[in-house]
A and B are shown apart, each in its own frame.
Chain A
Amino acid sequence: MSYDVHIWLNVAAFVGAGLSMGLGAIGAGIGEGYTAACATSAISRNPEAAGEIFKTMLVGQAIAETAGIFGLVIAMLLLFIETPDPSYITVATFIGAGLCMGFGAIGPGVGGGFPAGEACTGIARQPAMTRRLNTTMLVGSSIAQSSAIYALVTALILLFSDFSALPLSPTWAAVLGAGLACGIASIGPGYGEGMVAGACCQAVARQPSAATVATTTMLLGMAVTETTAIYGLLVGFILIFKTFTVTSALAPTMALLGAGLCMGIGAIGPGLGEGLTAQSAVGQIGKNKDNSAELIRVMLVGQAVSESTGIYSLVIALVLIFVV
């Protein structure tokens, strides 16, 4: 019983498309549900602001939806893409692209829901701040989507690059590892940044005079939270663009797959933890902005310590790629 490469290509495209859309639907579903839940309780608290709350809910949900739409785009591309010169590397890139976009959409989808939900709650509490809340929500949830964009970029590079000149082994592991690194690495930062942006919307509604310093702190905290997603993107790009020497041995191949998994999974914890830290800092600034300098300092120190395990993962991933 023998199968030629076209059959495996179809298998990979269909499995990849299923993973991309299936995993990709988790985040957006939860995030938008959270937004709708917040909007519902906000309208019950302040029915007069129902129109504004409804508008904000829809805009916020649309942004949280982007990650899910990216998953749909990659799934569609996988289903209908034409490959003139298929090889077994293409099989691996299809699975890699599907996993990358599927995992990559989870965090940003959930994260995008938090600022939208808190903005709805905030409008009910402080209708005068509607414009400012909408701006904060848009900025916050757009930044939370950035790691989904990294995953989309990596998935598109995997789908449309020409790997046919490269040796099958270890390139198949490199492209699969790249997809995993970039996709899984976006879960934590996407979720974490959403929590920060949610806390900022809460702070703006709670104490309008603290809006500026809360937004600055939010941007700072989100930037630090983003770092581990950038490590994932970095490892993904190294795995895609570095040329590896031909090998028939299993060990160097598995080292590349291990590097991708290491950086991808290793970025979840720091992303979530740094998000939690910045969420609390922004929340406290919303309660009392006089302490903002002290709070920003402690937030950055705490985030730096939380980052350490992400850096260990990066080191191990780079050792797996370049040293062993």
Chain B
Amino acid sequence: MAIEGADIIKAAAFLGAGLSMGIGAIGPGVGEGMAAAKACEAIGKNPKEAGLLTRTMLVGQAVSESTGIYSLVIALLLLFVV
């Protein structure tokens, strides 16, 4: 079975795409969960500010999400562009 160079490159791109998205999902998942956990704690202590706290949580999570989206972009680039 002769393996061509182009085949190896494609194989590496597919494996890389899977690893990029897989490993890249760990950080945002844990981080956003922590943000939401602290928001729940804060609302428990100060329910009057629930609206403000939810807004802050969502903005913080959106920022934390960015690296997950970078992983997604890299994975899609590896799958369809490179």
Contacts and interface: CB of A to CB of B under 8 A. Distances in A.
Given A250-B7, A273-B36, A305 B44 contact: no
A250 B3 contact: yes
B26 A269 contact: yes
Contacts of A269: 25-30, 33
Q: Is the interface of A mostly helix, strand, loop or mixed?
A: helix
A284 interface: yes
A272 interface: yes
B33 to A, nearest CB: 2
B3, B19, B39 interface centre (most CB from chain A within 10 Å): B39
Given A250-B3, A320-B79, A291 B33 contact: no
A224 B47 CA distance: 24
Contacts of B19: 258, 261-262, 265
Contacts of B31: 273
Contact of A266 (B10, B21, B41, B44): B21
A252 B10 CA distance: 9
A302 B21 contact: no
A198 to B, nearest CB: 13
B32 A273 contact: yes
A306 B32 contact: yes
B11 A251 contact: yes
- For the residues of B in contact with A, the DSSP-based class is helix
A264 interface: yes
Contacts of B23: 265-266
Interface in B1-60: 1, 3, 7-8, 10-19, 21-41, 43-45, 47, 50, 53-54, 57-58
Contacts, number: 207
Given A258-B17, A269-B26, A273-B30, A302 B36 contact: yes
Contacts of A285: 44
Contact of A273 (B22, B29, B47, B54): B29
Contacts of B41: 280, 283-284
B63 to A, nearest CB: 11
B18 A277 contact: no
A146 interface: no
B20 to A, nearest CB: 8
A320 B22 contact: no
Interface stretch (A28-36, A57-65, A86-94, A307-315): A307-315
B14 A320 contact: yes
Contacts of A306: 28-29, 32-33, 36, 61
Closest 6 CB pairs of A and B: A273-B33, A302-B36, A269-B29, A258-B18, A284-B44, A265-B22
12 contacts: A192-B33, A251-B7, A266-B22, A267-B25, A276-B34, A298-B57, A299-B40, A306-B32, A309-B29, A310-B29, A317-B18, A317-B21
